[in-house]
Amino acid sequence: MQKRKLGNSGLEVSALGLGCMGLSFGYGPAMEKQDAINLIRKAFEHGITFFDTAEAYGPFTNEELLGEALEPFRDEVVIATKFGFREGKTSLGVDSRPENIRAVAEAALKRLRTDVIDLLYQHRVDPNVPIEDVAGTVKDLIKEGKVKHFGLSEAGVQTIRQAHAVLPVAVLQSEYSLWWREPEQEILPTLEDLGIGFIPFSPLGRGFLTGKIDEHTTFDKTDFRNIVPRFSEDNRKANQALVDLLGKIATKKNATPAQIALAWLLAQKTWIVPIPGTTKLHRLEENVGSAAITLGAADLEEINGAISTIEVQGARYPEQLQKMVGR
C-alpha cells in the first residue's frame, strides 16, 4: 500500500489506517480477543501501518488489545491514542488537566507495550483547560521522549491555531465522509494553511455508506448508533438515496460503494488518511482495495454533482455529544 505524509510533521503512514474502536467498544459486544488480534495483524499484512485507539475505548481494553497485537512488529507501525476524558470514561465528561494528560500517557505506554506513543491526541477539547496548557504538557512529554507527535480531535479552527502556536499540531482527526462534508468549509483550508494532516474517522458513515444498512436494520442494544439522529428509521430511509447513488457509481468502476466512498476521500487531499474500522476480515480486504482505485477529475465532478442534489437527513450526534465538538 502507498504511504502518505501527514502535513509538515514528517509523520508517514499507510494511505489507509485502521480505526480500532469498534473491536472493543461502541458498536455492540467486543470481539473475541484472539479474533481481534488476528484482524489487526491481517491489516498489517495488507500494508496498513497506522492504528488508532484511545483510553476511552473500553475503557482501556482497546489499548491493551493493540499492545498485544502489534508487539511483534511494533517498530514498523504508527500507533495513535488519546487522552481527555475523566477516568477514561466518556460518560464522566472531559478532563485535559496537565496531571491527567501525564497519567494517561504513562498508563497508555504500559498498555500499548511500548516506550513511546507515536501520536497523542486530545480526544475532545476541554473548555476548562486552556489549550496552551494542553499543548505545553504534550510538548514536555515529547521532550521526555514519551511522545513523538501531537494531535487534536474534533477541534475548531481557533483551538487548532492556538495549539499550533505552542506546539506544531501534526494531525487533526474529525468525522469526514460523503455524508458529512462540513470540514470542507473551514477546517480543511486551515489545515492546508498550517501544514497539518487530516484523519477522517467514520469515513464510511458509521457503516451506512457500505450499503449494508437500511431502515429495517436493527442494532445491538449497546450500539452507539441507536442514539444517533442520523440513524433513526426515518432518516435511514431518507438517506438511502445517497447509498443508491454510490452503488451506481461503484458498478461503473467495478467496485463497491464502500470503496468509492474511501477512494473519494483519498482523492480530496494527499495529506488525508481515512481510518475505517471493521470487525470482519472480508470488509478489511474490501477497504484495503479502495487504496488502489483512482478517481480522476471527471469522476470527482460526477460524484460531487450527483451528491449535491441529495440532502442528508439527521444530526451526526445526539445533542449532548454535539456540544463537545468543534470547540
Residue 62: which domain range?
3-322
Task: Say if 327 falls within a structural domain.
Answer: no
Domain count, the chain: 1
Task: Say if 227 falls within a structural domain.
Answer: yes
DSSP labels for 161-226? Answer: HHHHHHS-EEEEEEE-BTTB-GGGTTHHHHHHHHTBEEEEESTTGGGGGGT---TT----TTBGGG
Task: Say if 127 falls within a structural domain.
Answer: yes
pTM above 0.85, yes or no: yes
- The pLDDT value recorded for residue 289 is 98
- The pLDDT value recorded for residue 178 is 96
CA–CA separation, 140 and 254 (whole Å): 50
- The pLDDT value recorded for residue 8 is 98
- The pLDDT value recorded for residue 280 is 97
Task: Say if 24 falls within a structural domain.
Answer: yes
- The pLDDT value recorded for residue 300 is 96
pLDDT in tens, the chain (327 residues): 999 999 999 999 999 999 999 999 999 999 999 999 999 999 999 999 999 999 999 999 999 999 999 999 999 999 999 999 999 999 999 999 999 999 999 999 999 999 999 999 999 999 999 999 999 999 999 999 999 999 999 999 999 999 999 999 999 999 999 999 999 999 999 999 999 999 999 999 999 999 999 999 999 999 999 999 999 999 999 999 999 999 999 999 999 999 999 999 999 999 999 999 999 999 999 999 999 999 999 999 999 999 999 999 999 999 999 999 999
- The pLDDT value recorded for residue 24 is 97
- The pLDDT value recorded for residue 90 is 95
- The pLDDT value recorded for residue 67 is 98
Q: Is 27 a catalytic residue?
A: no
What pairing do the DSSP bridges indicate for beta strands 78-83 and 18-19?
A: unpaired
DSSP labels for 53-98? Answer: --TTTTTTHHHHHHHHHHGGGGGG-EEEEEE-BGGG-GGG-B---H
Determine which one of 27, 57, 121, 176 is catalytic.
Answer: 57
CATH number at residue 40: 3.20.20.100
